[in-house]
Amino acid sequence: MYKRCGVLKTAFTFAAAVLTAVVCASPVEAKSLPIWFDAPALDWESEGLPLGNGAMGIVVTGEVARETLQLNEKTLWTGGPGAQGYNFGLPADSIKQDVAHVRQQITQHNGIDPQTAADKLGQNMHGYGHYQSFGELDIQYNDQTGAVSNYVRSLDLNQGVATVAYTRNNTHYKREYFVSYPLQAAIVKLSASNKQSISFNLGVRVHPNRTIETQAKKGVLTFSGKLFDNNLQYIGKVQIVVDGGELTENEKTGRIQVSRANNAVISIVAATNYAQAYPHYRGKLPVKALDKNLAKIKASDYSALLAEHLTDYTALFGRVGLSLIENAEYYLLAKPTSELLKQYKGEGSAPERALEQLYFQFGRYLLIASSRNGSLPANLQGVWNNSATPPWNADYHVNINLQMNYWPAQVTNLGETALPLFDFIDSLVEPGKQSAQKVFGARGWTLFLNTNIFGYTGLIEWPTAFWQPEAAAWLAQHYFEHYQFYQDHTFLTERAYPAMKEAALFWVDVLVADPNTGLLVVSPSFSPEQGPFVNGAAMSQQIVFDLFTNVVEAANLVGDTEFKKLIQTKLAKLDPGTRIGSWGQLQEWQQDIDDKTNTHRHISHLFALHPGDQISVQATPAFAKAAKVSLNARGDEGTGWSRAWKVNFWARLLDGDRAHKLLAGQLMGSTLPNLWDTHPPFQIDGNFGATAGMAEMLIQSHTGQITLLPALPKQWQTGAVTNLRARGDVEVSMRWANSKLIDATLVAGKSQPINLALPNSCISPTVKQQGSNKNKVTVSIANTAVVFSATRGELYHVTCSNK
Ligand code: FUC
């Protein structure tokens, strides 16, 4: 499934960008893509360097004398079964009457306020829980005296490896960190320029909300226990293998002492007895699997462990290269990243373009590090959390946040990272059916504002956010998009369609005829996270429209004719949620009540523009114009994720300069020194949203055409990108200079007609099949649209002769 153009790193020599070169076929030497500091982190949140393998995460703060290495394992949560009062958020049966009552009140009063609705429908949360920090390694180094010089703490995105290096007492110390997906372990190597220089004392700390037993034996420190809240069991093992020196365990303190080793390899494995299985969510502690991994690590050379990690990691990360400036590495190495960020103004200078390039790839890096097959999906903080009570529980909010986490997955060619999302969605279907039944007496499945890892699909009490029954429909969009980008029919039939169909079934039962228009609407409906409870707010309608449209297409592909017909009938009667109001705006509600001065961070009524495809400049210009009016009124400020969403909106409106302005605003106003997005506080969705937005500036494929460089900002005059992905299972690489496309290469995973929309500056485009005797492919060219028939696996080279 993942093949074709070789690994191409980000540096790209523009001098060599001759027209005849094929981008895919010219890999350049791997260079580092670093986020770095010249000091240890003073603050975990803003200066820590994150590493992860989806299931586990560590944050490198790199203190010199006494290092705290913070650990995460994604299934360690309080709450859920076993926690007091946990009921999946399911309300009493009487709620069905309450829903009917609220619906009737809405119609009678033309909308009601959220507090009144929440008084009827809101529920107190019981036993919802929080994502937990797994613990901290406490490493006290013996070399405590003497000045420290040449300190560097860095994370190389090209390798997924972090390093801490410094000199003290004429010895150069180096610590190297990575989290291996193949071995499911975090690995740290401590080494030094002089022999016998590695001496330290290692222990663990955990939050006091759990029991802990520690045991130090045979070079392994085991810590295990149970969370008080829900009795979830956890176990962590820290194995130390030394070269030379002496290793002693202290049974009493549960610490391990290493003295005068030449180097040491510390490996950490961790697990809980959580299982992603409704309704109990418990399995067995996989102690044997942990021991097996530690044994493998012990039997291997460190270099082999690292090589295995690099092979695994670069296969994903290396797929897409972006170059916005020649020799970006030079600028990235010239100053610590936080300095580059401080000086950033979004003016397109060389260091700024290098930083943007880094920031784009950081989103891809974070997705690989926090979402790999077999783990839970990336939560509000990915996989990184150092608290027992993190903001918003570090959960899964589904009125934008979880969805935004996965926006870059398809277009930046990391489809595998979405697999945890699909496992998660599947695991929500069963409890979601209970909610659909309980709250609405409906078939299908649903959930509302937020969920945990224990199938919470019910309601909470927060008046201005709790009601969002469209969440399942929105999540189902990801299923269909994955199919569109990868064209995997088995995935569509076996995974995507069943969940999409159940989500649609819910709306077949729940939509009601609007008393004013007679059209089918969602009621009660609430536009996140403001305004009144109404019939048919724009976002509710647009999400259902998106789901139904996708289900019709999917039903057609899988041959479910009956259901397709049913949904088509519903679709014909559905209020599409797109109305233009008195000041030219796209209405957020059925009534024309939008306030021009409203700058709320949620821009829900533009769902149809992005991530939906109901509105586009090409197909629905009047609505696109109205969306622009709304977006201008909302302004260019916002929380981290809100700015990121706006990058995507402006890209879809084909306004690259404005998209860049939003991106610059995000870097200047919503980005921490370690490049994590801040809401505030740290919330990872904005990282993912911004990376997706940057990709959307370079390629779009939601209109049935593949549009190249649809929203290129003036700051990105020259650049190259490799192997972005378009719908239809097509990989696209491009180069451009003087803001004009030079050439592009395309490889399709299946034979199909390709419809390319080229930038206006591309005069007399040609298409050639690489390696073919034929000079040109049969193309039809109308204006700047190029249509040609692509054969599976063949490489097509498109060139422009730019004037
Ligand atoms: C939604 C947003 C908030 C925050 C929270 C986690 O409710 O409105 O801004 O991002 O999710």
Q: Once rounded to an integer, what is the mean pLDDT over residues 54-61?
A: 98
Please check whether residue 96 is in contact with residue 439, taking contact to mean a CB–CB distance below 8 angstroms. yes
Q: Once rounded to an integer, what is the mean pLDDT over residues 187-213?
A: 98
Give yes or no for residue 639 CB within 6 A of ligand 1.
yes
Nearest 5 degrees, angle CA 524-CA 530-CA 535?
Answer: 25
Protein residue with its CA nearest to atom 11 in ligand 1: 397
Question: Given pLDDT bands bounded at 50, 70 and 90, which one contains residue 215?
Answer: very high
Q: Once rounded to an integer, what is the mean pLDDT over residues 171-190?
A: 98
Please check whether residue 50 is in contact with residue 175, taking contact to mean a CB–CB distance below 8 angstroms. no
For residue 606, give the nearest of 590, 626, 584 by alpha carbon.
626
So what's the pLDDT on residue 24? Answer: 37
Q: Once rounded to an integer, what is the mean pLDDT over residues 678-703?
A: 98
So what's the pLDDT on residue 2? Answer: 29
- As a whole number, the mean pLDDT across the chain is 94
Percent of residues, the chain, with pLDDT higher than 70 = 95
Q: Once rounded to an integer, what is the mean pLDDT over residues 686-704?
A: 98
Alpha-carbon distances of 188 from 48, 176, 257, 379, rounded to whole Å:
16, 5, 16, 25
So what's the pLDDT on residue 781? Answer: 78
Please check whether residue 116 is in contact with residue 98, taking contact to mean a CB–CB distance below 8 angstroms. no
Cα separation of 342 and 330, whole Å? 18
Does pLDDT of 8 surpass 50?
Answer: no
Give yes or no for residue 465 CB within 6 A of ligand 1.
yes
Task: Kindly report, residue by residue over 304-327, the tens digit of the pLDDT.
Answer: 999 999 999 999 999 999 999 999
So what's the pLDDT on residue 776? Answer: 61
So what's the pLDDT on residue 143? Answer: 80
Give yes or no for residue 468 CB within 6 A of ligand 1.
no
* Mutation test residue for ligand 1: of 128, 379, 401, the one with most atoms within 8 Å of CB: 401
Task: Kindly report, residue by residue over 453-491, the tens digit of the pLDDT.
Answer: 999 999 999 999 999 999 999 999 999 999 999 999 999
| Residue 342 three-state SS | helix
Ligand 1 atom with least separation from CA of 449? 7
- d(CA 75, ligand 1 centre) in Å: 22
Ligand 1 atom with least separation from CA of 679? 10
So what's the pLDDT on residue 742? Answer: 97
Cα separation of 104 and 194, whole Å? 79
Does pLDDT of 23 surpass 60?
Answer: no
Please check whether residue 579 is in contact with residue 623, taking contact to mean a CB–CB distance below 8 angstroms. no
Question: Given pLDDT bands bounded at 50, 70 and 90, which one contains residue 14?
Answer: very low
- d(CA 97, ligand 1 centre) in Å: 29
So what's the pLDDT on residue 251? Answer: 86
So what's the pLDDT on residue 144? Answer: 79
Check residues 18 and 235 and name the one with the higher pLDDT. 235
Give yes or no for residue 644 CB within 6 A of ligand 1.
no
Please check whether residue 543 is in contact with residue 521, taking contact to mean a CB–CB distance below 8 angstroms. no
Cα separation of 787 and 782, whole Å? 9
So what's the pLDDT on residue 774? Answer: 59
Please check whether residue 664 is in contact with residue 677, taking contact to mean a CB–CB distance below 8 angstroms. no
* Mutation test residue for ligand 1: of 400, 602, 677, the one with most atoms within 8 Å of CB: 400
Radius of gyration of the chain (CA): 27
So what's the pLDDT on residue 772? Answer: 67
Question: Given pLDDT bands bounded at 50, 70 and 90, which one contains residue 232?
Answer: very high
Does pLDDT of 16 surpass 80?
Answer: no
Give yes or no for residue 529 CB within 6 A of ligand 1.
yes
Does pLDDT of 29 surpass 50?
Answer: no
Ligand 1 atom with least separation from CA of 602? 8
Does pLDDT of 506 surpass 60?
Answer: yes
Please give the structure tokens belonging to residue 426. Answer: 């599947």
Does pLDDT of 13 surpass 70?
Answer: no
Q: Once rounded to an integer, what is the mean pLDDT over residues 676-683?
A: 98
So what's the pLDDT on residue 773? Answer: 58
Give yes or no for residue 392 CB within 6 A of ligand 1.
yes
Q: DSSP assignment, residue 586?
A: B
Q: DSSP assignment, residue 621?
A: H
Give yes or no for residue 380 CB within 6 A of ligand 1.
yes
Check residues 9 and 590 and name the one with the higher pLDDT. 590
Q: Once rounded to an integer, what is the mean pLDDT over residues 741-766?
A: 95
Q: Once rounded to an integer, what is the mean pLDDT over residues 66-80?
A: 98
